[in-house]
Amino acid sequence: MTDTAKLRIGTRGSPLALAQAHEVRDKLAKAHPELAEDGAIAITVITTTGDKILDRALSEIGGKGLFTKEIDDALMGGEIDLAVHSMKDVPTVLPDGMILPTILPREDVRDAFISLKYKSFAEMPAGSVIGSASLRRQAMILNKYPNLKVVTFRGNVQTRLRKLGEEQVDATLLAMAGLNRLGQPEIATAPIAEDDMLPAVAQGAIGITIREEDQQTKDWLAALHCEKSAIRVAAERAALKALDGSCRTPIAALAEFNDDGSMRLRVSIVRPDGSERLDTERLIAKPDMASAAAAGTDAGEELKQRGGPDFISA
Ligand SMILES: NCc1[nH]cc(CCC(=O)O)c1CC(=O)O
């Protein structure tokens, strides 16, 4: 089937990645009759380093592109024509010859609090244990609730729910976007307000990479693009790039449109032990890709400077 396909989609094999790839396939088939025929779109599952190593925090494995490298290689090698990614996992610098022309409409950006015993962090007694593999989430929790404990905790949704049931931890966190896309929003005990925990850069956004010269795929994808989501993601990713942190620097950012068409960008960095947090924000009067990226760069550079080399360990 793959050799007769008009378009080959590459994706990781996790349930969330597959749901995202199927969403892209279905939208393309709906927008373009020639892609709606049986077998016109093939989906190729590619295992990445991040999928293979499940016993360590991602920050310990180190390196950028843990969830993208093998997929990038398949794309540039011509084995697939487009790759569907959670933008949260995509490094700010793309390989030569690759472009990211499409951002889908963004999902819920918030983190979800998940516990069988408590309704929120505020209810948790001192010493309660929260499992998370994300340094940002760990650091944000310790910053706001220094009496809670965090432990590194990886695995898919099912594994985490089992560990919660076994009382290995008292609570865990997941992105609302992932739960929604899996059709399981009820797994969340409650979404956490952005003010209480600023999300990761590009959380809830899906992006599609292609080969720069592949005009056919670019044309097909145009129907799926959401410019407002792309502008928000551009602001947040520019901040991330300017901060140039290692994978050990907890960074959070969120750009949101106001009702008057302006955009508010918030960026935070936190020490891994939660002992210090630096915040900044920008208001962008007329947001487009260029002004959003410029504001993001500016905000990121400000925090980098204020934090100094000791905060942003490279
Ligand atoms: N590498 C983990 C990852 N990458 C994207 C998502 C969630 C979906 C999203 O943010 O779009 C997740 C899991 C999680 O944070 O719960």
Residues in the chain predicted with pLDDT less than 50, given as ranges, are: none
Q: How many angstroms does the Cα of residue 178 sit away from the middle of ligand 1?
A: 6
Q: Name the nearest CA neighbour of 257 among 280, 237, 286.
A: 286
| Ligand 1 neighbours by CB, cut-off 6 Å | 67, 86, 88-89, 174-175, 177-178, 203-204
Topology agreement, domain 2-104+205-225 and domain 111-191: yes
At residue 155, the pLDDT reads 80
Closest to 35 measured CA to CA, from 3, 2, 6, 10: 6
From the candidates 72, 81, 89, 111, which is the catalytic residue?
89
- The dotted CATH code for 233-306 is 3.30.160.40
- Residues in the chain, how many? 314
Instruction: Using most ligand atoms within 8 A of CB, pick from 12, 203, 233, 237 the residue to mutate for ligand 1.
Output: 203
Q: In what order do the strands lie in the sheet with 111-114?
A: 149-151, 129-131, 171-175, 111-114, 190-191
111-191 under CATH 3.30.360.10, yes or no: no
pLDDT digits (tens, 9 = 90+) for 15-59: 999 999 999 999 999 999 999 999 999 999 999 988 887 766 666
Residue 202's pLDDT is what?
Answer: 98
- Distance from the CA of 188 to the center of ligand 1, in angstroms? 14
Torsion from C-alpha of 7, 13, 17, 20, nearest 10 degrees: 40
Instruction: Please report, for the chain, the start and end positions of each structural domain, with discontinuous segments joined by +.
Output: 2-104+205-225, 111-191, 233-306
Q: Which atom of ligand 1 is nearest to the CA of 58?
A: 1
What is the atom index within ligand 1 of the atom nearest the CA of 134?
Answer: 15
Among 293, 297, 261, 259, smallest CA distance to 280 is for 297
Give Cβ neighbours of residue 197 (< 8 Å, ≥ 6 apart).
Answer: 110, 111, 137, 140, 141, 144, 252
Residue 100 alpha carbon to ligand 1 centre in Å: 19
Examine the residue annotation and report whether 89 is marked as an active-site residue of this protein: yes
Q: Which residues of 9-29 are buried (b: 16+ CB within 10 A; e: fewer)?
A: bbbbebebbbbbbeebbeebb
Asked whether the CA dihedral 142, 143, 147, 148 is positive or negative, the reply is negative
CATH of 2-104+205-225, one of 3.30.479.30, 3.40.190.10, 1.10.420.10, 3.30.420.280: 3.40.190.10
